[in-house]
Amino acid sequence: MIGHALLVVGICAATLAYGRAWYACRNEWPRRRGLSWLAGAALALIALSPPMMHFGHARIEGHMVQHLMLGMYAPIGLVLAAPVTLALRTLPQRTGRTLVSLLASVPIRVLAHPVTAALLDIGAMFLLYLTPLYDFMHDTPWAGTLLHLHFLLAGCLFVWSIAGPDPAPHRPGPRLRLGVFLVAMALHGALSKYIYLHGYPLDSASTLEQRRLAAELMYYGGDIAAIAMAIAFFAALFKPRGTARHAGPNRKTNQAPNHS
C-alpha cells in the first residue's frame, strides 16, 4: 500500500501549496475557489482512506463509489478551484512564463484536447470493466494504485478540457467541447447499462446482484457529475465579458486585481 500512501501524500502536498497561494492572495482570491479545492481534495482523500480502500477491494459496489469520488466528483472540485490561475498570481514572473509556455506546448495541447481527455477518461472505463483488467487490478497492488492515479488525473483533465476556468491556450470552441461532453456522458451511461444487462466484469468474484448495484451507482452517480459539469460549463460560457480581463496575473506586480 506504499503507492496509495504516496498518492495521499501528493494530494496533501498539493493542498498545502494551494493553501499557501490562497493565503498570499486572500484579499483577492474568491473564497468559493478555495472551498472548491478543499472539497475536491477531501473527496479524494476519503476515497483513498483505509475503510474505503477495504470496501473497494472487497466489493464491487465499494469500487464504484471510489470511482465516482476519485474519478468524477473530486476532479470537479479541484479543477473549478482554478489552481493554474492561482499559481500564475503567486509564482515569480519567470516561473509563470514557463508555466504559460508549457500549457501552450503541442504535447499539452494534444493531451488537453476534449477528445483526447474523453478517451483517457471515459474510454479507459470500457477497457477496465469489459476486459480482465478489473480482476488484475484487484490482484495486483501496484496496478490498483496506478488505476486510482489514472482515475484522478484523467478526471481532472476531462473536466479542465470541458469546463475548466483556468487559462487554456488554443482551447477548442464551446460547440466542440459541449459535443464531446454530451457524447462522453452518453457513453458513460451506455457502459453502465451494458454492465447492468450483461453482468460485467464477468470474471469478478462479486455476485450478479452486486454488479448490477454497482452499475446503478455508476449510472446515477455519473448523472450527478454530468449536471455539475454542465452547470460549470454554461456558467463560464455566459459569464460577463468584462470579467475576462481579471483571469490572468498582473505582469508588473505578479498579483491579480480584485476578482470576485
Instruction: List pLDDT tens digits, range 188-198.
Output: 999 999 999 99
**Does residue 178 belong to any structural domain of this protein?**
yes
CA distance 178 to 199: 31
Domain count, the chain: 1
Output the nine-digit C-alpha cell for 62: 465499494
| 235-242 contacts at long range (C-beta below 8 A, 24 or more positions apart) | 236/163, 236/165, 237/174
Would 105 be classed as within a structural domain?
Answer: yes
Q: Indicate whether 245 belongs to any domain.
A: no
Q: Is residue 193 part of a domain?
A: yes
Contact 211, 204 (CB under 8 A): yes
Residue 162 belongs to domain spanning: 2-24+34-237
Q: What is the pLDDT of residues 1-57, one digit of tens each?
A: 788 899 999 999 999 999 999 999 989 999 999 999 999 999 999 999 999 998 988
pLDDT at residue number 4: 86
In a domain, 161, yes or no: yes
pTM (2 decimals)?
0.89
- State the pLDDT at residue 256: 42
165-200 b/e with 16+ CB inside 10 Å = b? bbbbeebbeeeebbebbeebbeebbebbeebbeebb
Answer whether residue 195 is part of any domain: yes
Predicted pLDDT at 250: 47
Q: Where are the alpha helices (DSSP H) in 130-240?
A: 133-139, 141-163, 174-198, 208-237
Inter-CA distances, 129 with 52, 143, 169, Å: 20, 14, 34
User: For position 240, what pLDDT does the model report?
Assistant: 66
pLDDT of amino acid 46: 97
Instruction: Tell whether 109 is covered by a domain.
Output: yes
- Identify whether 252 is part of a domain: no
Which residues of the chain are modeled with pLDDT < 70? 203-204, 240-260
